[in-house]
Amino acid sequence: WLHEFPEFRSNPFYVGGDSYSGLPIPFLVQQIAN
């Protein structure tokens, strides 16, 4: 998404989760960061 709309790259990026989403969220964020 950020490749298609580079004007949003300078905005802060937040990822949140609740309950069991705390398990896949760190993996997801690592993949996005890479």
What pLDDT does residue 5 have?
94
pLDDT digits (tens, 9 = 90+) for 3-26: 999 999 899 988 887 888 778 888
pLDDT band at 2 (very low <50, low <70, confident <90, very high): confident
Q: pLDDT at position 8, please? A: 92
Alpha-carbon distance 7 to 2, whole Å? 8
Q: What are phi and psi of 7, to 5 degrees?
A: -65, -15
Return the pLDDT at 7.
95
Higher pLDDT, 1 or 4: 4
Whole-structure pTM value? 0.47
**Residue ranges of domains in the chain:** 1-34
Tokens 């960061």 correspond to 33
